[in-house]
Homo-oligomer: A and B are copies of this chain.
Amino acid sequence: MTRRGRPRSTGPQAKVAQLPWRQVTNPHGTLPILDPEGVERIHEASLRILEELGIELWSAEARKLFTDAGAIVEGETVRVGRDIIEAALASTPSSFTLTSRNPDKELTMGGNHLAFGLVAGPPSVHDEVRGRRPSNMDDYENFIRLAHYFNAIHIIGNQVASPLELPANSRHLDAYRANLTLSDLSFHCLSIGRGRALDGIEMMAISRGISIEEMAESPGVTTIINVNSPRRFDEEMALGLMTMAEHGQAVSVTPFTLMGAMTPVTLGAALTQQNAEALFGIALTQLTRPGAPVMYGSFTSNVDMKSGSPAFGTPEHAKANVAAGQLARRYDLPYRASNSSASNVVDAQAAYETQMSLWGCVLGGTNLIYHAAGWMEGGLQASYEKLVLDVEMLQHMMEFLTPIDLSDDALAFDAMSRVPTGGHFFGDEHTLARYTDAFYAPMISDWQNHGAWTDSGALTATQRATKVWQDALEDYVEPALDSARADQLDDYVARRKEQIGDGDP
């Protein structure tokens, strides 16, 4: 925990040119890959799953909420009528905000807003200098610094890379502290049971200088509930979900549904099962606390049917990202999907799979694009170079999502009348007044001719990315945090570690 309180470096001195912080909106609209009848067919088929097959729910506390609402509970199986689902959907907010300790970075989840999340969860990290290795706290902290440094990353996911050398029952505390001191972003809590979720809520509240009761009115953290598809919520995820909802914090209910493995092999069935499971979890948030912020999550992709290996950024994955967005909008819910690749190396495959997922997310109207920066190997590797390349691709998308200026000034009739036929506009005053920021200036793309590129070392995009993350880490300055709050965070972590001891958080 170093250099607390220094102002963040920005502006022309920065080593890495990048777009300024902004929340992204999509003015261009979405792609209707399903017709309205198709959306209703999936809706009806998923209600049939909930009514006839039901969901296995391992938490007695959660089952009681469903029993009280009139669901048919037999053993651990909960069958839910459409009335319960409809009642739950009546109280879900269509959008909400996430506020971190820096109110300038408030994120809106809903409408045509997009937020890009840091990769979450890999047990391995990779960079071109040190190779592939198990992740540890040093890497964890570096990724948080990079997420803070790069303006295109808006939110920190669930443990960007696991600090595997730390005790499993308390490492979430170290991770949350790093999130809150090395960045000023909102983050995801680890919702395996109540304790880890509550720690995230408490620590975010401390960093904001507010109580958790106050934060219930102004959500600051979020989580993902993945579901053990097909049709099972275990106790830990049910309790994590309820803890978040009780405190008014945001939950993305995201069945992780690999077609052919956790769902039938057909995309229609996968979307239907995903929809049933998502609606069940969404209902649980509202039974816990009506009005609790909740997102419709989709993570449907396919597997290699020869090996069973998961695949991402496939055409099926892209279609699922688009179609699930239509379902989310059917329910007027904010929508979460993912940007991902199965590639083992940061190469052309990594880039085209990422683009396929990313365009699927954008065209599906995704509000939270999870794993947007740094995800490799189907989620088993967090990559420094991939993070940089993803930021480049996210910035491309941010620029794509700006409207085209059609003012008289932009249409430039006068400039056209000044430049002769067959001439050029390089020296025209209209150009000179605008050329420095007329176009998106890339961070990684190299547009030199082949000779100049060869002379400058013939580096690939991935090789060029190494210098960018190195520069970013060098240029990074820890965001100022009130020292009293910083001490409170340290005290909280120390106290909780003692409480937890060898036990369960």
Contact = CB atoms under 8 A, between A and B. Distances in A.
A129 B439 CA distance: 36
Interface string A374-400: 000110110000000100110011111
A33 interface: yes
B356 A426 contact: no
A1 interface: no
A406 B41 contact: yes
Nearest to A132: B450
A330 to B, nearest CB: 14
Interface stretch (A80-88, A144-152, A163-171, A226-234): A226-234
A345 interface: yes
Interface stretch (A66-74, A106-114, A456-464, A485-493): A456-464
Contact of A404 (B33, B407, B450): B33
Interface string A192-229: 00000000000000000000000000000000000010
Given A348-B350, A438-B305, A440-B314, A261 B31 contact: no
Contacts of A56: 421-422
A418 to B, nearest CB: 10
B447 A316 contact: no
A13 interface: no
A168 to B, nearest CB: 23
B264 A343 contact: no
A416 interface: yes
A156 B246 CA distance: 62
A272 interface: yes
A354 B353 CA distance: 12
Interface in A405-419: 405-407, 409-413, 415-417, 419
A323 B404 contact: yes
Interface in A42-65: 42, 45, 48-49, 52-53, 55-56
A443 B319 CA distance: 19
Contacts of A411: 41-42, 45, 266, 268-269, 272
Contact of A319 (B400, B442, B462): B400
Interface string A324-355: 00000000000000000011111111111111
B426 A261 contact: yes
A445 B349 contact: yes
Interface residues of A, number: 125
A262 B415 CA distance: 11
A413 to B, nearest CB: 7
Given A259-B439, A261-B425, A352-B393, A269 B318 contact: no
Contacts of A262: 424-425
A308 interface: yes
A9 interface: no
A263 B425 contact: yes
Contacts of A425: 230, 260-265
Interface string A422-443: 1111101011001110111010
A436 B266 CA distance: 12
A450 B348 contact: no
B260 A440 contact: no
A448 B344 contact: yes
A309 B396 contact: no
Contacts of A426: 260-261, 308
A450 B260 contact: no
Contacts of A295: none
A347 B460 contact: yes
A21 interface: no
A483 interface: no
A49 B42 CA distance: 51
Nearest to A445: B349
A440 B265 contact: no
14 contacts: A31-B363, A41-B406, A42-B406, A49-B416, A260-B425, A302-B438, A311-B439, A314-B445, A319-B400, A345-B460, A347-B351, A348-B348, A352-B354, A377-B450
6 A-B pairs with least C-beta separation: A315-B399, A355-B355, A351-B351, A264-B412, A269-B412, A349-B461
